[in-house]
């Protein structure tokens, strides 16, 4: 419990120094001081690590129960993002572990889904909720959470370097 309280106090000090530009003792820090910018980077690194860890936990929870299957692409719909890039939404047909044929549109659209009709794709689905389908990608399920954790760790370390010893 003491470690959790120490961590909470550490985050409070980082927030005070970074966002409010004040030390824990009330001393005013300059808007562009290395100490406050370092504290901001460290705070962002901690926040990013928490997001990455929760994403990892969610993915692990899915992967523990997921069942692999092969699906057939029935339809590919093209859509545009707000910045004009193309993304594709798939309609897939697959058979679950109970032999029930299902047709579903996965929740995620992606630029990598531009595949011809009839293509077979590897998917994973939650047997408790067959509407929860994930298309397997070449990067794998851990790519984005890994990038978030690496970037957050780099932000934290750069902030620690900029903030210096206090």
Write a three-state SS string for 101-142. Answer: EEEECCCCCEHHHCCCCCCEEEEEEECCEEEEEEECCCCCCC
Collapsed DSSP state (helix, strand, coil) of residue 84? coil
Distance separating alpha carbons of residues 133 and 123, to the nearest angstrom = 7
Q: Which of 18-27, 69-78, 126-135, 141-150 has the lowest mean pLDDT?
A: 18-27
Q: What is the pLDDT of residue 164?
A: 75
Average pLDDT, integer, range 71-99: 87
Task: Round to whole Å and give the CA distance between 123 and 34.
Answer: 48
How many Å apart are CA 2 and CA 13, to the nearest integer? 17
Secondary structure class of 70 (helix, strand, coil): strand
pLDDT at 166: 61
Note the pLDDT tens digit of each residue in 7-46.
887 777 777 777 777 776 777 777 777 778 888 888 899 9
Q: Is the pTM of this model over 0.85?
A: no
Among 31-35, 45-49, 61-65, 114-118, which stretch is predicted with the lowest mean pLDDT? 31-35
């Amino acid at each position: 419990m003491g470690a959790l309280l120490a961590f909470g106090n550490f985050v409070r000090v980082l927030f005070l120094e970074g966002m409010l530009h004040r030390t824990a003792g009330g001393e005013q820090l300059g808007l562009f001081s290395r100490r406050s910018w370092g504290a901001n980077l460290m705070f962002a690194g901690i926040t990013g690590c928490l997001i990455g860890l929760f994403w990892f936990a969610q993915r692990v929870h899915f992967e523990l129960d997921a069942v692999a299957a092969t699906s057939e692409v029935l339809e590919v719909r093209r859509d545009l993002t707000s910045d004009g890039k193309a993304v594709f939404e798939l309609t897939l047909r697959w058979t679950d572990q109970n032999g029930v044929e299902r047709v579903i549109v996965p929740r995620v659209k992606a630029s990598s889904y531009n595949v011809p009709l009839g293509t077979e794709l590897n998917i994973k689905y939650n047997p408790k909720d067959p509407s929860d389908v994930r298309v397997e990608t070449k990067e794998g399920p851990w790519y984005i959470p890994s990038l978030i954790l690496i970037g957050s760790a780099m932000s934290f370390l750069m902030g620690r370097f900029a903030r210096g010893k206090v």
